[in-house]
Structure 1
């Protein structure tokens, strides 16, 4: 211990105990170092961002390399790695001078205030009183979570609960490493700001938003919750824009916190055509689930319109859950006018469900109903599924290595106009995989399709049967054997695989069990034959239509790869003992004894080129019946995509084709199904730095007319996201074609998102 001049006493660390009674305030006492805090190391921050109010009577302790106490003047001077803490609030500086007479602490040199919730305040100079509750800072800077930063010429803390700042700049953008003086991508510059720690809000006055240092717009007052607040009532960023149907519009969302588990957003829309809308979005979380209810009401097209979108999911226990997803709207045009998700779809679907999961088992009970959005769809003809039950089970392997599966269930389908169907079904199956002596991979399967039906109005949509009603059952036993016989060869880094695939399926003759039009068809209306279902036992999407007779499926799989290059191809064909035109219909390639040839090929010779090709060829003429080709050219920073699709039939003819193509007078409407689909797509995508840009053109080759144009792009860095999407649709939707839309979204990190949909 050294004594200088008889009036000043100097101590060196670790004589912290000698500071008891000398440190400010007079009532302070020494306390242990706060848990988790190690002097001269970075503190463990919490999850918040802004400071918390300081307790008024908490004890203060500090430590330093050297402490000098002037007894005559009552001044304590601490220098060298000075740290003081009170209630987990920590002050660091090169030098701290405490005047016991005025209760003022002056901190100079690398002043840092560490708050328990994560905020770090930097200052060139700070004066503190009343145990850090009062402070004046010069050259104040704040580092927050999510990379947010706030700087001010000066700041004043009042009673530990309010920070007043002058000449404030706020941003969440990282400064340029090469030139930190360059302005960030965006910053909010304000004449003054108040960080209210009780209200947990930051209030900016006379603020200007700057982009790359250029003032963009002025805000006389901005109030936002600090980042410790996850939910707080108040107005959200408005949406504004214009579209063809309601003109210029503005949406002003107000967010209201009801309680800890629920909130609601209320959004009035105002537009230049006097068609206002009121929209609500209610959310609530429970211990076992959540709900989200969206409603809206508007005066649109001369009438009151609205919507109800509701979704909920709940858990009963670890194995069972239930929920609902209800979607209803007054019209498709209403969804279009107010740019509501769902516009452009054929239907809005709704369901309620109860489902359970077990060991190898899945069970589901649900209801389903639909609302048609197309003018040509009669809602009275759409089904109400009240209810449907599904059960799936996969057993464990037995002593032979085989396993049992079971798929079953039932449904009750009702229509106001059309066929009403009740069905109960079960499909047990036994599968036995085996390895052959020469590397063959065998799979033997025995299956029984069993179903019982009760149907009324069978002669109406969608069956149009000869019979008006039916009570029928079908038992459909199937046995199959499939063999994959892969041959592989490795030459250096390259591997070649040649794999013949054969499958034999034995079934009863379909014409000898039940007349096909006595079985209502609810799940097998849209059959497709591709390489994906070449070796499927049942190529239909459901079980209401099942092929019969003997069947042989033959295919050849070839693959070559060496790590950097890949080629993979499959080609195959099917042979049957009987024709099935009544089941498969024209144009599917499966009606006769010999199927069309289907296949796929994928080739990637380098990272900048790849081609995927899927096809179906007529087995008699080798004419292309289906072609889906996609070619990608170029590196990631500039990628060009070419796409081509051709189909000899078009089930979406009246939805996809421009209105210029009409059927000759007197032609039945269903003949539109037989018009080929022939379209080409050209797209490009580029990336350079933080920017991206892309676009596409879709053309109808048969009509030499455009189907759609599109352009998209954006910018994204650590603090800003700007995205836009423009498209022009020439397809006919409810009698409207050539629909244009432009959507722009701007997101400023920590501030919010601004959307500008234009249509």
Structure 2
């Protein structure tokens, strides 16, 4: 009993500081002989735990020698090592080594957990004991988020400070209602016994019921869960339910293996009533300088006939699977390397089995990209080397048309100009090499004297050309078969001079060189056809493009006080270059995306890649006007055009992909481009940009949209965009493209919200005509089966949409969404997949998703039938 004697001695010494105090009497706090102290205190080393002391503070200490007890009364506070006990009254029984606390009892553990109750009976180190009206609050910060969990029980027991048992207890991560704390939380688990093991950081529930708003919704005879302090722990994860015509009804039961602090393994078998067992596993490891993972999936199908037979599906395969890996490594502060790889047995596997590819964010995959890279970045330099492999995941893709790109090397370096030259000198270099087995052709729409389809339902439609022999008027070459290697380098200089009037003059010059080695393959095309591309160079070809130019800007600035600062800035740019040569005789792989608008008006070279280079003497003219007020109002407007002065217009002569034609730049005086942007405040922004025909000011391209957050006046956020693009038949777009996309979220209360999004195709009836004409063209070439039929869907078509509602607070997230997403089917008929998605997350317990397809789709990609 040495420990008891020592504690009694310390507390007794405190009492003896006042000699007049009788045994069993009360020692006033101000008579403790401690100058300036409001409360008495005492401390002693504890045997077996050097450095730990029992410190006592209270308004008064009562020492009862007859009963062998010491009582701290009035704001009693006892400290033992990292634990603190607070109560209205604390009595220490020396004989039993027990501490009895009553009234507003509060025990704070070493991990910050707070235990409260009406009465506590504890050992003298506060580790073990019984607690009446037990309540525990545990606070944990994970990933910057504060999580609070709460236990409660009429009576509980602490065992050695490592385990707490709750009889008929409850557990929740929800905050109590401030106005009505007696109400049950949004969710809680009520169990006959709850055991919280602080050593293993596990919570065990026996004979438990999950309650929502006090209503039982699920019964679980036994389950366990990691407490919020756990970041990684072996055990079962939230299961996932599956329901599909092709797969049947199923359940995915993932199990997480915490093998070591730096690596783990997750096995996720899926038991499918129609296809058997789909095995999935993911291994992850974090190293000192990075991390990597490896994920594999596979199944021996029991009902392959649920999928279409080849070549339209994988119905003739018994085994199907995939392998994926992602790695990120930092060599040093300037260099990093990594990879993102995916391999599949067939193009439909990921979609059919709803396996979310790591590099794709949607559920409906159309392409998987594998890449490996090395990246270096300095103060004013950048280096990147990559390789790419593209795997087409749609039934329309022919893998032989997909290129293997290896390597792609980019280097960019900027330095200050030497001596009197000053300014900035920039060096850019690119090396690209790619190989594909078959040329990727696209037929242009038949117009004029070309044939139309036979009449169906009294309507005929223009047919697309079939490219058996290359002709610039009927075919585009999206990708050339064979090997194409190009090395490019550009050295440029620019310097800005600003005179006393505020005029900004920027002379610049650059020298661009390109070397091509082309080894085209003119064989290997679908249906054994052999198209010819006689105009493409074969072997080594070089190209040099020098340029000099000047950029002139003269901003006029006026401050109108409350009306803001107004700036009018005329801009003129002139670039002198020789004409581009070898147009149409060189491949074009990386410069097929050409958009002429306000963002590209003053670019030195308007082509998007290295395979094309802009030539000739050209001037770019425009002006912009802006207003900025002290209240935060901002407006900007810009208008201009580009004019070819001399030499060959690079945009007038289309290459083998017709890039440049129908761009708005093919005429000597280009289309006009403009932009208007208005932001009344930081929460609202409206922008409109357009391209107008140079001859009659007809709108050839138009985009407008708004993004807005109206809080705190209105709990609404939205974005809406309308786009219109005129037909570009020489680029393969036979009709205009027009559509609207919009999203909105409205917070009904701080917790309840509704949300929705829509993608409206305003030219879908033209799309269906195109799809029909393509299908009919194939039928005429190979009349197998029934003649394709056509149904006009009408002017407006809801291509995709979602509506939903949900609830979110500190402990719960519930959302219900109805999603309509487009699917491009193997029949060429546009179908929509309709899905109801319910997601429930109970913080600290887990989350569950329930996804159910509704409606009927005729033929999904690779699937014989789907619902």
Same fold flag (TM > 0.5): yes
Deviation at 1:307, TM superposition (A): 1.9
Deviation at 1:4, TM superposition (A): 5.5
- 2:745 maps to what in 1? 685
Deviations 1:303-362 (A, max 9, x none): 322222211111111111111111233344322233233354442111111111222111
**2:538 corresponds to 1:537:** no
- 2:351 maps to what in 1? 336
Question: Among 310, 314, 319, which residue is 2:329 paired with?
Answer: 314
- 2:511 maps to what in 1? 448
Question: Among 558, 569, 580, which residue is 1:489 paired with?
Answer: 558
- 2:811 maps to what in 1? 719
Give me the whole-angstrom Cα distance separating, in 2, the residues matched to 1:409 and 1:55.
70
Deviates more, 1:474-483 or 1:337-346: 337-346
Give me the whole-angstrom Cα distance separating, in 1, the residues matched to 2:689 and 2:190.
57
Deviates more, 1:135-144 or 1:678-687: 678-687
- 1:73 maps to what in 2? 67
Deviation at 1:57, TM superposition (A): 9.5
- 2:721 maps to what in 1? 643
Deviation at 1:229, TM superposition (A): 2.2
**2:632 corresponds to 1:557:** no
Check 1:135–1:360 CA distance in 2 against 1; reply closer, same or farther (3 A cut): same
Deviation at 1:213, TM superposition (A): 2.1
| Alignment root-mean-square deviation, CA | 3.0
Check 1:372–1:107 CA distance in 2 against 1; reply closer, same or farther (3 A cut): same
- 1:119 maps to what in 2? 113
Give me the whole-angstrom Cα distance separating, in 1, the residues matched to 2:709 and 2:386.
47
Deviations 1:638-674 (A, max 9, x none): 45654321112479xxxxxxxxxxxxxxxxxx88522
Q: Retained in 2: the 8 A contact 1:498–1:558?
A: yes
In the TM superposition, 1:475-624 aligns within 5 A as 475-493=544-562, 494-510=564-580, 514-562=581-629, 563-576=631-644, 577=646, 578-579=648-649, 580-583=651-654, 584-604=659-679, 611-624=686-699
Q: Retained in 1: the 8 A contact 2:242–2:252?
A: no
- 2:786 maps to what in 1? none
Q: Retained in 2: the 8 A contact 1:11–1:68?
A: no
- 1:64 maps to what in 2? 57
Deviations 1:365-398 (A, max 9, x none): 2211111122222212211122222111111355
Q: Retained in 2: the 8 A contact 1:458–1:469?
A: no
Give me the whole-angstrom Cα distance separating, in 2, the residues matched to 1:255 and 1:696.
35
- 1:366 maps to what in 2? 386
Aligned pair count reads 708
- 2:98 maps to what in 1? 104
Q: Unpaired runs of 5+ in structure 1?
A: 18-27, 33-53, 652-669
Give me the whole-angstrom Cα distance separating, in 2, the residues matched to 1:380 and 1:268.
34
**2:227 corresponds to 1:221:** no
- 1:349 maps to what in 2? 369
**2:44 corresponds to 1:30:** yes
Deviates more, 1:173-182 or 1:557-566: 557-566
Q: Retained in 1: the 8 A contact 2:23–2:64?
A: no
In the TM superposition, 1:73-472 aligns within 5 A as 73-129=67-123, 131-145=125-139, 146-243=147-244, 245-298=246-299, 299=301, 301=307, 302=315, 303=317, 304-341=319-356, 342=360, 343-396=363-416, 398-400=418-420, 401-417=422-438, 418-457=481-520, 464=533, 466-467=535-536, 469-472=538-541
Deviation at 1:207, TM superposition (A): 1.8
Deviation at 1:293, TM superposition (A): 2.0
Check 1:726–1:356 CA distance in 2 against 1; reply closer, same or farther (3 A cut): same
Check 1:154–1:757 CA distance in 2 against 1; reply closer, same or farther (3 A cut): same
Deviates more, 1:704-713 or 1:641-650: 641-650
Deviations 1:7-56 (A, max 9, x none): 66858589699xxxxxxxxxx98139xxxxxxxxxxxxxxxxxxxxx989
Check 1:69–1:738 CA distance in 2 against 1; reply closer, same or farther (3 A cut): same
Q: Retained in 2: the 8 A contact 1:344–1:733?
A: no
Check 1:101–1:684 CA distance in 2 against 1; reply closer, same or farther (3 A cut): closer
Q: Retained in 1: the 8 A contact 2:188–2:212?
A: yes
TM-score when scaled to structure 2? 0.76
Higher RCO (CA 8 Å, separation ≥ 6 residues):
2
Give me the whole-angstrom Cα distance separating, in 2, the residues matched to 1:196 and 1:692.
38
Q: Retained in 2: the 8 A contact 1:60–1:84?
A: no
Give me the whole-angstrom Cα distance separating, in 2, the residues matched to 1:60 and 1:608.
57
